[in-house]
Amino acid sequence: MAGIKIIKEKVDQETYEALAAICPFDAFSYENNRLDVTAACKMCRMCLKKGPEGVLVFEEDEKVAIDKNLYQGITVYVDHIDGKIHPVTMELIGKAKELAAVINHPVYALFMGDKISEQAEELLYYGVDKVFVYDHPALKHFVIEPYSNVFEDFIEKIKPSSILVGATNVGRSLAPRVAARYRTGLTADCTILEMKDNTDLVQIRPAFGGNIMAQIVTQNSRPQFCTVRYKVFSAPELLERPAGKVEKMDIEIDRLASAIEVLEVIKKEKGIDLSEAETIVAVGRGVKSEKDLDMIHQFAEKIGATVACTRPGIEAGWFDAKLQIGLSGRTVKPKLLIALGISGAVQFAAGMQNSEYIIAVNNDPKAPIFNIAHCGMVGDLYEVIPELLNMIEENEMQNDTETQERMVI
């Protein structure tokens, strides 16, 4: 196991004091003329860089190089409920085709369930080279043990290089469990994916509260796993004549056994699905009080929009959590998004930057939201929204008058 080795012959009280002054985690102890590194060590290696020379040595684990040529193909896990495929699957197929083109790999789809052959054929129209189907009554409902075993069976037989999984409830449960079996990395909620010529998948996502964009690479493990939210990428255009094929897979029946038995599936009431909204009016800290939301809702109703918010709206108790846009909320891609009083921090931008058209209203001309908005207006929303409402009402009155005149004629 990697760690810091101490050259004991060179240790004394003065050495300990020098190391203790450097270590930010207070990870050195010195008792009975013995220097030790405690469990508080975070492997920051500050002591190696700035400590007394010749006292400490970093010992690394021996790395066994993996043959990346043994792993071929970009695989998309097909997320579905009773055979109805979640649209995030098609979006991931579109991205998988882009990534595969860089390294000339095939695009695969892994589909497991019960009576799903017909739906598997439909996936070919999205440009998948091969759909691997595990069709068995034991896979009718998502149960973690058999689904993980099927996933493992697929990896052992096909050896894909990279696997893309939708960040749904199922995907977020299944992907880490399978990745752990292979001691390989998994990056959650990626917003950007890129492919290197050596088949390393560059997985990019906001980190440290959205303050930086982290690039994560699994250099010496395969397969590479990542999850991606719905509405981050775009689905490919349908093909008129697909060239791919469906391959049915077999697995030992005992691997489909589980200690969990699904007795009944109770469907919850379908609430507001912000991800499907085509027009959104989003509000941020610029809204001063809850009563001021009345004019926002009135404006949204006039233009047929759904009202959403950033995190402050949730913390204030003004909105349901399902209406939050951002890293800790929903990812959306509407045709039109109007951002009112939103600064445009990375946390929010990551959840809406793929919108087709973005209009921003903010009284700070240097607000980051203007860097991603297609149209920006520097102004106070308390002046802009009432003015827009007046313009809409005047237009409605004019249309009513013209209609009445036509009826009279």
- The type of residue at 97 is K
Give the pLDDT confidence score for residue 332 in this predicted structure.
93
DSSP designation for 219: T
- The type of residue at 250 is D
pLDDT in tens, 306-328: 999 999 999 999 999 999 999 88
- Residues paired with residue 395 on neighbouring β-strands, in sequence order: none
CB 231 within 8 A of CB 167: no
Task: For the domain made up of 68-256, give the CATH fold.
Answer: Rossmann fold (3.40.50)
pLDDT in tens, 248-297: 999 999 999 998 888 888 887 777 788 889 999 999 999 999 999 999 99
- Which of 102-111, 122-131, 213-222 is predicted with the least confidence, judged by mean pLDDT? 213-222
Question: How many residues can be counted in the chain?
Answer: 409
Residue 208 pLDDT greater than 80, yes or no: no
With both helix axes pointing from N to C terminus, report the angle between 144-158 and 169-181 in degrees, rounded to the nearest 10. 50
Question: Kind of pairing, strands 186-190 and 224-228?
Answer: parallel
Arithmetic mean of pLDDT, 397-403: 68
Question: Kind of pairing, strands 279-283 and 336-340?
Answer: parallel
Q: How far apart are CA 16 and CA 2, in angstroms?
A: 22
Give the pLDDT confidence score for residue 345 in this predicted structure.
87
SS3 (DSSP) at 356: coil
Q: How far apart are CA 2 and CA 6, in angstroms?
A: 13
Most distant CA atoms of the chain, gap in Å: 108
pLDDT in tens, 32-43: 888 899 888 888
Q: Which two tokens stand for residue 298?
A: 């009135």
One CATH from 3.60.15.10, 3.40.50.1220, 2.50.20.10, 3.40.50.2300 for 274-395: 3.40.50.1220
Q: Is the peptide bond before 137 cis (omega within 30 degrees of 0)?
A: no
- The type of residue at 244 is G
Arithmetic mean of pLDDT, 9-26: 88
Give the pLDDT confidence score for residue 63 in this predicted structure.
66
Arithmetic mean of pLDDT, 65-74: 92
Q: Which two tokens stand for residue 11?
A: 């240790």
Give the pLDDT confidence score for residue 93 in this predicted structure.
98
Question: What CATH code is assigned to 3-59?
Answer: 3.30.70.20
Alpha helices in 182-320 (DSSP H): 293-303, 311-315
Residue 40 to residues 7, 43, 60, 315, Cα–Cα distance (Å)? 20, 9, 19, 35
Q: Which two tokens stand for residue 277?
A: 């909204």
Query: Comparing 68-256 with 274-395, is the CATH topology the same?
Result: yes
Of the candidates 238, 223, 251, the one whose C-alpha atom is nearest the C-alpha of residue 128 is 238
Q: How far apart are CA 99 and CA 160, in angstroms?
A: 13
Arithmetic mean of pLDDT, 75-99: 95
Residue 32 to residues 8, 25, 51, 110, Cα–Cα distance (Å)? 13, 22, 21, 60
Alpha helices in 52-168 (DSSP H): 88-103, 117-123, 144-158
Give the pLDDT confidence score for residue 289 in this predicted structure.
92
Pairs from 309-317 (Cβ < 8 Å, separation ≥ 24): 309/282, 309/283, 309/284, 310/282, 310/283, 310/284, 310/285, 310/342, 310/347, 310/348, 311/347, 312/284, 312/285, 313/283, 313/284, 313/287, 316/290
Confidence grade of residue 409 (pLDDT, cut at 50, 70, 90): low
Other C-beta atoms closer than 10 Å to the C-beta of 36 total: 13
Give the pLDDT confidence score for residue 408 in this predicted structure.
56
Q: Which two tokens stand for residue 19?
A: 């190391």
SS3 (DSSP) at 376: strand
DSSP designation for 46: H
Rounded to 5 degrees, φ, ψ at 20 are -65, -35
Confidence grade of residue 89 (pLDDT, cut at 50, 70, 90): very high
Q: Which two tokens stand for residue 80?
A: 């579905």
- Chain centre to alpha carbon of residue 61: 31
Sign, CA torsion 397/398/403/406: positive
Domains in the chain: boundaries: 3-59, 68-256, 274-395
Confidence grade of residue 395 (pLDDT, cut at 50, 70, 90): confident
Give the pLDDT confidence score for residue 53 in this predicted structure.
86
- Which of 2-6, 34-38, 240-244, 267-271 is predicted with the least confidence, judged by mean pLDDT? 267-271
Pairs from 401-405 (Cβ < 8 Å, separation ≥ 24): none
